[in-house]
Amino acid sequence: MNLEAIEQKCVAYLKQVSKPLVPVENLMRHLREDEDCAGFTERELIEFLRVHELFKVIEPPRGQEDPEVIQALAEFGIPVGPRVILSTRVPTKSEIAAMIQQELGDMTDALTGAMAEAREMGDTEAEDQVLDALARTEKLKRMARDILGEGAGD
């Protein structure tokens, strides 16, 4: 395992992504494309990143998460595992609130479109599923407001 190659590839990838907080599984997928970075596990990568000054690993609050919220995030394709960010790109609390607001807004827009499509097709079962998803999204918005302050998720 070439740690220098891993470091360089991680820095280059994390500098160019539009969303600075990257799921470790995404970074791992990127690294596996390079043979110089092969031969290590996700756990080894996390341990390497944790002790490296250029990176900050963010662990999800496992014991405090609502299982319904974890399931909802997974259903929306939002990874719930650890994430990594370059130390130089760590956002402020207001930037985090804005990012979460954007993500939840995009999710709500997509669900609203799905609801319109389900209604147009007369698919009441799909409508019910979308309504459930919208309710979970609202729960996520409330949680974001509780954690980050009143401006998050509006």
Specify burial of residue 124 (Cβ count, 10 A radius: 0-12, 13-18, 19+). Answer: exposed
pLDDT tens string, the chain, 154 residues long: the values are 678 889 999 999 999 999 888 999 899 999 998 887 778 888 999 999 999 999 999 887 654 466 776 676 667 666 678 899 999 998 787 777 777 888 888 889 999 999 999 999 999 999 999 999 999 888 888 887 777 765 554 4
DSSP string, 44-64: HHHHHHHH-TTEEEE---GGG
CATH 1.10.3210 fits 3-90, yes or no: no
Domain spans, the chain = 3-90, 94-148
Q: Say what the pTM is.
A: 0.58
Task: Give the whole-angstrom CA distance, residue 138 versus residue 127.
Answer: 16
Q: Three-class SS of residue 116?
A: helix
